[in-house]
Structure 1
């Protein structure tokens, strides 16, 4: 379960309002994991204006236009469309190859979390102490793989870029992940194994000259970067995203530029 909120005044946490809460329901089926022994159903609940209750969304998805105070916008105000996903849209990303529940994995959970009251601890260590694992950890959490914060400029840009792509793209861009692009973006694979370096895009050129999915040293011909900076038809991610992450795209552009 996850609740999504938005600052109605950019940069002012006190203006944050709850927009929706998403819930994944698990049902155990007969069989084995290899042939599909489970099903997950997604539900969306919309918060009311009083912020006192959230109501189950019955219709097939819904859009709501938000008015955001933003000192950097023309006139100090900008409009943003928030999309509430339908139940079928949830299954576009929450797939069997991605293990349904995105983000609850070693790579993304293996970092410190502020639990309040001065308690900061590694989430994997906390899970182990709570007895949530069926088997003991194979290694100490410090020795297990993890992602880095892509905003952290002290980290290597390769790690920042691969972490961003893992967290935002790899749940679809993996083997049998549900997309129709024949490449992967998993951080656990070497870049040469992903099928993206100098590979022709399969969905057209989108106005670029002689594009490839990833062209080392050439951001202008790199389709992966172009699709992240594009709005409307052809944008990636194509579900749940209609605002360009300027900080992330600038970081990815620099990563592509320094590749050889």
Structure 2
């Protein structure tokens, strides 16, 4: 009898030490640690074997936040490459994005973690936010949004203070909605393909990405900071694609504006060139056109990107600071444009 009890206790201990599997229902868990995405100290974000880190060629700007991104696939699941360059994720997938800032000592401080979950019960994507505690030991489910006072170092290590805006779940849905359907934004093949495509090639080799053609056939989005390999127009268009086009596209939240900023967009009017605003109101600053070639100071696009005022600032969500480097690139792009005759 004693040996049986010892065996039961041993098995119970071993079972309790196993990493928890991701939730398989539409109900999100109360704490980030409940999912078993990470091993060791939670704040170290050290992924378990089924959780795969990824980086983007051109990322979305969020108040100079440092972002750690991961994809957690269900057991035996794999991503599927589509001819359009989109990735199809299996039901049960989690896309995990962690937001941190660098404090004045240069240390990383976690603020929030956002989850996209492809519900296996209906195949639809669902969203949830998790807010980190001051001790950096846990992040708890947070639906309502919150303003968090932070003092951070920007990309030039300049000290900046702001009220970082943790979005509510409805804000997330606005940006991630396409024709009323919730979809991932960042992890597209073109934005995962940079350098020599090592990231995508590793996934294909590991069997978690299937159907990918030769890497030379996979489209690649320019790296917006890489002035050595890409021109100003290429970098500016990539920046607008990632930071604006999830709303400014057909079926997006800003569909009614007629301003469509996808990287592949070719129509001058849709790009805003000598196009009057549709719904900007006072946010247009009294200017007449979204883009005036050769004149950034007269262009609504640059004006709104350079503002933090509610009703004027664009993007209107996900930032409280002006992205100085991003605005400088867009200004340079507009100034270099040939003026229309």
TM over 0.5: yes
Report what 1:24 is aligned to: 116
**2:113–2:130 contact (8 Å) kept in structure 1:** yes
1:5 and 2:5 matched: no
Correspondence for 1:92: 174
Structure 1 residues 181, 129: CA separation in 2 closer, same or farther (over 3 Å shift)?
A: same
Instruction: Indicate conservation of the 8 Å contact 1:111/1:124, yes or no.
Output: no
Change (3 A) 1:29 1:193: farther
TM-score (norm 1): 0.82
Q: Give the drift of 1:16.
A: 1.0
Determine the structure 1 residue equivalent to 2:45.
none
Aligned to 2:220: 146
The reply on whether 1:102 has 2:191 as its aligned counterpart is no
| Normalised TM-score (structure 2) | 0.64
Q: CA–CA distance in 1 between the matches of 2:136 and 2:100?
A: 11
For residue 69 of structure 1, report the CA deviation from its aligned partner: 6.6
1:107, distance to aligned residue in structure 2 (A)? 1.8
- The answer to whether the Cα contact below 8 Å between 1:217 and 1:256 also exists between their aligned partners in 2 is yes
Structure with the bigger RCO (C-alpha within 8 Å, sep 6+) is 2
How far has the Cα of 1:128 moved from its partner?
1.8
Relative to 1, partners in 2 of residues 1:191 and 1:157: Cα closer, same or farther, differing over 3 Å?
Answer: farther
**Consecutive unaligned residues in structure 2, runs of 5 or more:** 1-95
Matched, 1:218 2:295: yes
- Residue number among 210, 232, 235 corresponding to 1:157 in the alignment: 232
Aligned to 1:242, which of 306, 309, 320?
320
Aligned-residue Cα RMSD (Å) equals 2.5
Q: Which residue of 2 is the match for residue 46 of structure 1?
A: 131
Could you tell me which residue of structure 1 aligns to residue 150 of structure 2? 66
| 1:177 and 2:252 aligned | yes
Larger Rg: 2
Residues 77 and 210 of structure 1, relative CA distance in 2, 3 Å threshold: closer
Match of 1:115 in 2: none
- Contact 1:65/1:82 (CA < 8 Å) preserved in 2? yes
